Amino acid sequence: MIQVNRKDNSPRGNIALRMTNVSKRFGPVQALADVSFTVRAGTIHALVGENGAGKSTLMKVLSGVYKPDKGSIEINGRPYAFDKPEQALAAGISMIYQELDLAEDMTVTENVFLGSELPGKMPFVVDSKAMVKKTAELAKKLDFDLNPTAVVENLSTGDCQIVEVLKALMRNASIIVMDEPTSSLSESDAERLFKVVRELRGRGISIIYISHRLEEIVDLADDVTVLRDGMVVHSESVTKLDIPQIVRYMVGRELNEFFPGRNATIGDVCVRVENLSSAGNVNSVSFEIKSGEIVGMAGLVGAGRTEVAQAIFGIDKKSSGKIFLDGRELKINSPADAISSDIAFLTEDRKRTGLCLQLPCSWNITLPNLVEIGMKNIINPAKENKIAAEVAERVSIKWLGPNASVDSLSGGNQQKVLIARWLLANSRFMIFDEPTRGIDVGAKKEIYTLLNNLAEQGKAILFISSELPELFGIADRILIMHRGRLAGNLKTAETTQEEVMHLAAVEKN
């Protein structure tokens, strides 16, 4: 167990932001517990932590989206309490989210001045010339080459980031929060962004920089704060830390007895993926899964984990690669092909790609299985309900009956409807993408047990997850994705969370 550093050794200097003892609870989940977070003026402060550690919640408290249950916020020495994002904006806090919120079909200038246009000489008329001029000046000051009248739609993601920065500057931001700014940038665009960020620091602006890319942080940031399970576990100057240390602070928790004992017998190779590539950020990925084996897949957001599953399942077009099941090569061009080839795929976003929310539970369960259950030509609703109820029982769905619409169920039960769907399909090879996301602890445990049972039945399972502890708790082997490539393929028993995190987060030389 890593020692949690609780004594106050937070950075000294002029304080731009001081959040003290901020707590926030969502139902049973304590998202933030007594978080104190201090940012020095004119510094780049990295905020790191695993998914669900509380980074986004903390930033949403700062930007006035969430009201904290307790705690206080001081900006440049003055106390603030925000009810609305506009108030945070007025206090000099600008957020640049991962999904940029720019008006795509407007120009750079229009976006930069959106909501605070300069008035012209006549009422209801804005002074376009002055705004274009000001935008150009500002861009030039940042040593940044950008046409102020270009339409945002035609700009690269990197340029859009800069437009967001200009927007923040135009609003006189003193603190700019950047959430995973480089996750979708090319190397050269990222370099340019770093230059801009350093330039901002030079002008006395504080940057809160959220990123999973640790090498970036060590390179760029002055201070770093590590969050874990809604608490600050460490806060220090970056120069005193190295990447392995940061990783240890991030993951440092012990596996508990939460996970079922694994006793599936591992058989012959069942699934073989060879040199799989797709336009969706998958580059020459190869691996095998034996029958009875649970193979975990780790990686940062955007590393291409889901894309591997999508390429296998026929959602994304493969640009190369072969997929074998029990030695037989599969021809898969659509999910329909994949399902009839005996593959199941539980998608990560159950609302977008999983469920038909307003339709009955039974319909959702049988949707891919109608042919399988002998209803190719004619559906027998009574028999269908009976089959659905049986499989629902196996995962103990709490519902009003098979005819209840899915949107009448809780999140965990909705997820179980999807799991019931794929249990009914009884496929040889099952892919689970973040099956435990957004569900409570009890339901998580049920899902782990279920995965275990499926493995005991001799199925091959690919288990994609952003939570390392659950990968270590349930998987026999872990595949690590980094920027669309397979960066590691390790036996769980022979590796550590630190090693996996390192492979996932750090560019190989």
User: Residue 116 and residue 283: Cα distance in Å, rounded?
Assistant: 44
Candidate segments 15-23, 73-81, 125-133, 353-361, binder of other proteins by CB under 8 A: 353-361
DSSP 6-38: -S--PPPSSEEEEEEEEEEEETTEEEEEEEEEE
296 or 368: whose CB is closer to other proteins? 368
- Is residue 377 at the binding interface for other proteins, with CB under 8 A as the rule? yes
Between CA 461 and CA 479 the distance in angstroms is 12
Residue 263 interacts with other proteins (CB under 8 A)?
A: no
Stretch that binds other proteins, among 99-107, 152-160, 214-222, 339-347 (CB under 8 A): 339-347
| Nearest distance, CB of residue 271 and other proteins, angstroms | 19
Helix (H, G, I), strand (E, B) or coil at 193: helix
- Pairwise CA distance, residues 181 & 97, whole Å: 8
Q: Is 334 in the site for other proteins (CB under 8 A)?
A: yes
Asked if 333 interacts with other proteins (CB under 8 A), we say no
DSSP, collapsed to helix, strand or coil, labels residue 106 as: coil
Contact pattern for other proteins over residues 126 through 155, marking x by CB under 8 A: ------------------------------
In the three-class reduction of DSSP (H, G, I as helix; E, B as strand; rest coil), residue 108 is classed as: helix
CB of 236 to other proteins, least distance (A): 44
Which distant-in-sequence residues (6+ apart) come within 8 Å of 493 by Cβ?
none
Q: DSSP 3-state helix, strand, coil percentages of the chain (rounded to 5)? A: 35, 25, 40
**Nearest distance in Å: CB 401, other proteins:** 11
**Closest CB 336 distance from other proteins, rounded Å:** 4
Interface with other proteins, residue 359, by CB under 8 A: yes
Q: How far is the CB of 100 from other proteins (least distance, A)?
A: 23
Tokens standing for 49? 């932590």
Q: Judged by CB under 8 A, which of 113, 363, 399, 463 binds other proteins? A: 363
Q: Residue 403 or residue 495: which is nearer to other proteins going by CB? A: 403
Q: Which of 1, 352, 442, 508 binds other proteins (CB under 8 A)?
A: 352
Q: Is 358 in the site for other proteins (CB under 8 A)?
A: yes
Burial tier of 60 (Cβ tally within 10 Å: 0-12, 13-18, 19+): buried
Q: Contact region for other proteins (CB under 8 A) — 60-68, 99-107, 178-186, 328-336? A: 328-336
Q: Which is nearer to other proteins, 302 or 368 (CB)?
A: 368
At residue 39, what are phi and psi to the nearest 5 degrees? -120, 125
Q: Cβ 311 to other proteins, closest distance in Å?
A: 14
**Angle CA(238)–CA(44)–CA(300) in degrees, nearest 5?**
75
Sign of CA dihedral 170, 174, 179, 184: positive
Scanning residues 298 to 327, which ones bind other proteins (CB under 8 A)? Answer: 313, 315
The least distance separating other proteins from the CB of residue 424, rounded to whole angstroms, comes to 12
Least distance CB 488 / other proteins (angstroms)? 28
What are 375's two structure tokens?
């209803």
**CB neighbourhood size of 92 (10 A):** 20
Residue/partner pairs of 490-496 with CB below 8 Å, 24 or more apart:
492/296
Q: Please report how close the Cβ of residue 386 comes to other proteins at its closest, in angstroms.
A: 16
Site for other proteins in 49-78 (CB under 8 A): none
Catalog residues that contact other proteins under the rule CB under 8 A: 313, 315, 334-336, 338-340, 345, 347, 352-359, 363, 367-368, 370-371, 375-381, 405, 408, 421
